[in-house]
Structures are given as structure tokens and as C-alpha cells.
Amino acid sequence: MTPSLVAVAHGSRDPRSAATVRALADVVRAQAPGVTVHESFLDLSEPRVTDVLRGLYAQGHRSAVVVPLLLGRAFHARVDLPALIDEVRAECPGFRIEVSEVLGAGPTLQAVALDRLAPARRRKGTGILLTAVGSSNPEANAVVTALAGQWEQRLGLPVSEAFASAAQPDVPAAAARLRERGVRHLVVASWFLAPGLLPDRIAAQAREADPGVFLAGPLADDPRVADVVIGRYAAAVAGLLRSAQPA
């Protein structure tokens, strides 16, 4: 039996977030017709990933691949999800669960984020805020900071990272940093998969800094994101097969 793909997002009190995840799962289903796809969440939205996995086990499945719909390896990827997976493994003997790599910051998702900026006017004095959720894990934030540096070299425009929570600089501080470099017109790039409360916070702060700001949308409604999900699944399935082979 082909392992099911269980896509797991963080979850949000904002219903737009879960709706976006479900729409992404539909695209994955269309692009991988031989794979059973289930959307799930860590918290705040339903169904929870633990419930989906327990349900598969109860139906007779003996393997599944969990694909975290996360852009970085912060607390949710390093701590929350592994704890939940261990909980299910303890309750479901013989159930093999492989967790793929997070979606990450590879070329495909960068291309999606950069393409979102195409409609923005390129005027003299334009600078870019690369906005992300922010984490208590410095390594996760460093990935976004590195992206901002790469984009600056690639685009030939001033670029600063800006975080919605748990890290600095926030949007006001990042906008001030760009002002000091001569930026007068802000463009906001989104390093978020789905709309929600934190992207809304960023949008409000960016409009305060520049009422004419261009706000790029989140990433998950681009079919290339589904391609990345399927790629993570395929790599994890290969790991399952290797682990099943006798030593």
C-alpha cells in the first residue's frame, strides 16, 4: 500500500489559513493522483495531525509520510511535531511514520515569493521588506536574514528582513533601517504560506510606515508549492523503503 501523505500545517484561529491549506492539499491531490492526501494541523484548526494518523492506523494502514507545511525548522518542526509523532507511535505499534523535511527556503519557493513582487512599481528609492513569522530559534531567523542578503544582491535593491513576532527587526525597525539607506517606497515580500493574523499585523504596520506600500500575497496558492510538497513526500517514501530493507 502506498503510504498516505499527511500534510501538517501549524493551524490558526483565522479560517483563511485552514482554507488555504485545504486548497493546497487539493492541488497536491490533483498533481499526485496515485497518492492519498490528508491535510492536518498541529493546533488551533481541525483535524489534528494525531487524529489523522490514528485514523489511518485504525483503517489498517501501516505506514504514512508526514510533510510539515513549514518554511523553517523552528520550534514547531524541531519540538512540537516530533513529540506528537512519538505519541502516535507509542499508541500504534507497527505503524511506521516518516517525517519529511520542511518545505524550506529552496529555489522554488524563493521563485514564488519573488514572482509575487512582479506587479510592484520599481521606482527610485524602492526597498523591500522580506517578512516572516519570526522565531525564538536564532538559526531559523538566520535563514530569512540570509535570504534578504541574497535578494539584495540579486535584485539590486535594499532588502531587510522583518519579523512578525519573537525576533527583531520588526516591521517598524526594518522600515526605519531602510529609510536610513535612502528608501522612500516600501515593497513587502511575504515569506508566509497562508493569510492569517500575523500577515495582517505585518500589513498594518507596513501601511503605517508607508501608506502606498505594495503588499505581496502569501505563497501557498501557487502550484509550485504543491510540487515542493510532493518532492518532500517522494524523498521520505524513499527513506521508508530503505528502512524496510533487511540489513
Q: Kindly state whether residues 235 and 178 are assigned to the same domain.
A: no
pTM: 0.95
Q: Kindly state whether residues 195 and 141 are assigned to the same domain.
A: yes
Q: Which helix (H) or strand (E) holds 217?
A: none
- Look-up of cell digits 531587510: 160
Residue 30 lies in a domain: yes
Confirm if 191 and 147 have CB atoms less than 8 A apart: yes
Please name the residues in contact with 116: beta carbons below 8 A apart, sequence gap of 6 or more: 189, 190, 216, 217, 219
| C-alpha–C-alpha distance, residues 5 and 236, integer Å | 10
| C-alpha–C-alpha distance, residues 132 and 177, integer Å | 17
| C-alpha–C-alpha distance, residues 193 and 16, integer Å | 11
Q: Kindly state whether residues 166 and 204 are assigned to the same domain.
A: yes
**Burial of 35 by CB count in 10 Å (0-12 exposed, 13-18 middle, 19+ buried)?**
middle
Radius of gyration of the chain (CA): 19
Q: What is the total count of domains within the chain?
A: 2
Q: Kindly state whether residues 75 and 158 are assigned to the same domain.
A: no
- Look-up of cell digits 515593497: 187
DSSP at 48 = B
Residue 170 lies in a domain: yes
* pLDDT over threshold 70, residue 245: no
Q: Kindly state whether residues 225 and 166 are assigned to the same domain.
A: no
Residue 128 lies in a domain: yes
Residue 240 confidence (pLDDT)? 83
Task: Give 88-112 pLDDT, tens digit per residue.
Answer: 999 999 999 999 999 999 999 999 9
DSSP at 106 = -
| Length of the chain (residues) | 247
Residue 109 lies in a domain: no
Residue 130 lies in a domain: yes
Residue 60 lies in a domain: yes
Q: Kindly state whether residues 168 and 240 are assigned to the same domain.
A: no
Instruction: Provide the domain limits for residue 35.
Output: 4-104+221-244
Residue 52 confidence (pLDDT)? 98
Question: Residue 16 sits in a domain of what CATH number?
Answer: 3.40.50.1400
Confirm if 135 and 78 have CB atoms less than 8 A apart: no
Task: Give 156-173 pLDDT, tens digit per residue.
Answer: 999 999 999 989 999 999
| C-alpha–C-alpha distance, residues 170 and 191, integer Å | 14
Q: Kindly state whether residues 211 and 225 are assigned to the same domain.
A: no
Residue 122 lies in a domain: yes
By percentage, how much of the chain surpasses pLDDT 70? 98
Q: Kindly state whether residues 199 and 166 are assigned to the same domain.
A: yes
Residue 111 lies in a domain: no
| C-alpha–C-alpha distance, residues 181 and 185, integer Å | 12
Q: Kindly state whether residues 91 and 66 are assigned to the same domain.
A: yes
* pLDDT over threshold 90, residue 242: no
11 vs 122 pLDDT, higher one: 11
Q: Kindly state whether residues 231 and 201 are assigned to the same domain.
A: no
